[in-house]
Amino acid sequence: MLKRMSVTLTAAGVLLAAAACSGTKGSANAGSAQGLKGSPVLVAVVLPLTGASAKTAEQMANAAQLAAEKVNADGGIGGRPLEIKVYDDQLKPENAAQEAQRALTRDRAIAVVGAQSSGEALAIREVVERSKTPFITSSATVEAITKGATYTYRIAPVLTDYANGVVDIAKAIGLKDPAVVHDSGGAGVLLKDLFLARAKADSLSLAGAPIEYELNGTDMSAQVSAAAKSKPDGVLIGGSAGGDHGLVAKTMVEQGLNVPLIGFSPILVSDAVKIGGDAYKKLPAVYSLQNLDQQKPSFKDFQARYTAKYGAADLTEQPAQTWDSIMVLAQALAKTAGKGGDALKDALNGTSAYQGVSGRAGTAIEFTPTRHNGFQGKYLVAYKMNGPKAVQSNLKF
């Protein structure tokens, strides 16, 4: 997988020259930026292009490029082209901080988008808050990422809403004593506590103590075996990496733990489905939550654009949220004539009722000086896996 991918949406010759110099590959709709003049407005997209979540990160990078092409086709940022450059942090917080710093100091990026996990996002937050550069995370969920932040925003679910939804689904399908498994990362540890708190509020018993597995683990045998000993009637899973979720499902089938598996979006990303394989067919039910309504016309349009350029794909909330992040950022940049810093921060704080690709039908993205989480209220949608496909569910939770 590429360490860094540079995509400049100006003229084809500039794009190819940049790719040749950087040793990376890029592709663009050369006609989309025709007529645009002036220096490009550079946005850095920091993602784990290598590792357990690489496929999802690739879709997020593609979505960012598609959004920039749309912006440029519509006139760019006051006539200047919007440029996307993608940096690989390998799902490591220390790398995320380094790549964000490199993007700001060496490449002069005006804003940052991305961070698939909360660890990455928290590391990037430290960099951008110090440099007064706006950052929109399009996947990370831990509340601390935006709490008290001045330049950090989120177009993605908040972890508490995810955790509450997972427990509520368990109760809605009649589970009495599910087990809890979670990863060792920051989000996983918080999810454990959030699951426990919601289960208590819902008067839902849990089977045994929560069980922790290593983030980006390669063997879940011991953890699944420990969960099975408590004889649960379901498994609630919390964590960041899709590959871990697929491996848990696969191991459950191998060990005969034949109960429903419930989690949120990592369950249905490509990395999870690939690793889980037939496990998603063999388990009695696999439920997921995500910040996406596949019936929304705006999502259908996004999916058609994606398919036309990159081929058919089962798109989840992360690429949809990345598209929305670039579009909201472009809208704010248009107000500042391409200026960053405090001017861009103030423009983002005025984002109101933006109807995006992600989110349940009827929800909107809004930011204020004190509200940096774009989604509020009931914006999540339940999905049930039908083999490798996620089917939108009418389950009430």
* More reliable by pLDDT, 16 or 205: 205
Least confident of 17-26, 59-68, 195-204, 230-239: 17-26
Same fold flag, 4-157+295-366 and 159-290+382-392 = yes
Of all residues in the chain, the percent with pLDDT exceeding 90 is: 78
Fold of 159-290+382-392: Rossmann fold (3.40.50)
pLDDT for position 388:
83
Query: Predicted confidence band at 397 (pLDDT cuts at 50, 70, 90)?
Result: confident
* Stated pTM of the model: 0.82
Quick check: 206 and 253 in contact, CB under 8 A?
no
- Kindly give the interhelix angle for 93-105 and 118-131, rounded to the nearest 10 degrees: 30
Least confident of 25-29, 126-130, 154-158, 364-368: 25-29
pLDDT for position 271:
83
Tell me which residue of 216, 198, 197 sits closest to 91, measured CA to CA. 216
The chain-wide mean pLDDT, for the chain, equals 90
Give me the residue spans of the domains in the chain: 4-157+295-366, 159-290+382-392
List, edge to edge, every strand of the sheet that includes 179-183.
211-213, 179-183, 235-238, 261-262, 286-290, 381-386, 389-392
Tens of pLDDT along 282-316?
999 999 999 999 999 999 999 999 999 999 998 98
pLDDT for position 96:
98
Contacts of 8 (CB under 8 A, 6+ apart): 14, 15, 18, 26, 28, 40, 81, 83, 85
- What number does CATH give the domain 4-157+295-366? 3.40.50.2300
Tens of pLDDT along 262-290?
998 889 888 899 999 999 999 999 999 99
Three-state DSSP at 44 gives: strand
pLDDT for position 14:
31
DSSP states of 59-121: HHHHHHHHHHHHHHHTTTBTTBPEEEEEEE-TT-HHHHHHHHHHHHHTS--SEEEE-SSHHHH
pLDDT for position 34:
64
Three-state DSSP at 38 gives: coil
pLDDT for position 5:
39
Of all residues in the chain, the percent with pLDDT exceeding 70 is: 91
Q: Token pair of 151, please?
A: 């330049």
Quick check: 236 and 178 in contact, CB under 8 A?
yes
Q: Token pair of 270, please?
A: 């490509």
Task: Check whether 1 has a pLDDT greater than 60.
Answer: no
Tens of pLDDT along 244-263?
999 999 999 999 999 999 99
Task: Check whether 2 has a pLDDT greater than 60.
Answer: no
pLDDT for position 241:
83
Tens of pLDDT along 334-364?
999 999 999 999 999 999 999 999 999 999 9
Q: Token pair of 322, please?
A: 């990345």
Task: Check whether 52 has a pLDDT greater than 60.
Answer: yes
Task: Check whether 25 has a pLDDT greater than 80.
Answer: no
